[in-house]
Amino acid sequence: MKRIVVLTGAGISAESGISTFRDSGGLWEKYDIMEVATPEAWERDPELVNQFYNQRRKQLYEVEPNQAHYALVELEKKYDVRIITQNIDDLHERAGSSKVMHLHGELKKVRSSVDDSLVYDLDGWELKIGEKCELGSQLRPHVVWFGEPVPMIPAAADLTNTADIYLIIGTSLNVYPAAGLVSYVRPGTPVYLIDPGEMNVSHIAGVKHIREKAGAGTRKLADKLLQKG
Ligand code: NAD
């Protein structure tokens, strides 16, 4: 079975109603990201940071996967599909994808603020200041903040290196180290990028840029790959 490795970003969830970071109307216009998504912000104002992630989590319970998430599930009929997502939502899992690696953490999980290995499923959308881990420290969102290491990167790079076909969907390729993963694609591997944005992809050898929204673009590409596979 051929392996398809898929790198997804905020754009794949846009049609589900979750705003991206950089598009107009995106989260960055409403919040100063340095005030809500850094370890310094958490130190300075945990209430504000926690409120930001509580809002994101609450919204996540109100949205559904879209056509793009479901098309990736269908590809599993004929391919070994491995998803590497920068997203903290759980829409790939809810659509039914079986192998999903979260590079930047998961919104529905929380963890100890003194021991990263203590990760818990949060019951419901709201984390409260005062809720503690078993070591007695405040629980924090299980997300990778700007300035923090991305522990899954070596595993994601290894996986990228095993792709027979590589798909990139809905990411500006601006956030590192995730954006650097494309350099681990083996030479000669077919690479498809689905993103309606104008972006410079000259550094990605042989990439075919499909300038469509994730829903329609992924659906069409999946149909093509299923016919071939
Ligand atoms: P980004 O905001 O930097 O880029 C979003 C990309 O999506 C852009 O290239 C844009 O052209 C494209 N896009 C917009 N609408 C689209 C659509 N309908 N279909 C396909 N593409 C569309 O996002 P990023 O590259 O993922 O990086 C930002 C960081 O923000 C990531 O670390 C990610 O974890 C985080 N984030 C996650 C979520 C989520 O979990 N859903 C939402 C916002 C931000």
Q: Which pLDDT tens digit goes with each residue over 207-225? A: 999 999 999 999 999 999 9
Which pLDDT belongs to residue 153? 97
Instruction: Write out pLDDT tens, residues 24-83.
Output: 666 666 778 888 999 999 999 999 999 999 999 999 999 999 999 999 999 999 999 999
Domain ranges within the chain, ordered by starting residue: 1-18+66-104+149-229, 20-62+108-143
Say yes or no to pLDDT of 105 above 90: yes
Handedness of CA 210, 216, 222, 223 (dihedral sign): negative
State if residue 92 touches ligand 1 by the CB under 6 angstroms criterion: no
Torsion of CA 103, 15, 95, 53, to 10 degrees: 50
With contact defined as beta carbons under 8 Å apart, do 68 and 15 qualify?
yes
Whether residue 116 is predicted with pLDDT greater than 70 in this model: the reply is yes
Averaged over 105-126, what is the pLDDT?
Answer: 97
- Residue 28: the pLDDT is 65
Q: Which fold has domain 20-62+108-143?
A: SIR2/SIRT2 'Small Domain' (3.30.1600)
The catalytic position among 104, 142, 203, 209 is: 104
Question: What does the alpha-carbon distance between residue 13 and residue 83 come to, in Å, rounded to a whole number?
Answer: 14
* Ligand 1 atom at minimal distance to the Cα of residue 10: 26
**One-character DSSP codes across 187-207:** TT--EEEE-SS----TTSTT-
- pTM score, two decimals? 0.95
Residue nearest to atom 32 of ligand 1 (CA): 86
In words, the CATH class of domain 1-18+66-104+149-229 is alpha beta
Question: How confident is residue 16, by pLDDT bands cut at 50, 70 and 90?
Answer: very high
Nearest CA owner, ligand 1 atom 14 = 11
Determine the distance separating the centroid of ligand 1 and the alpha carbon of 43, expressed in angstroms. Answer: 26
| 85 band by pLDDT with thresholds 50, 70 and 90 | very high
Distance from residue 137's CA to the centre of ligand 1 (Å)? 32
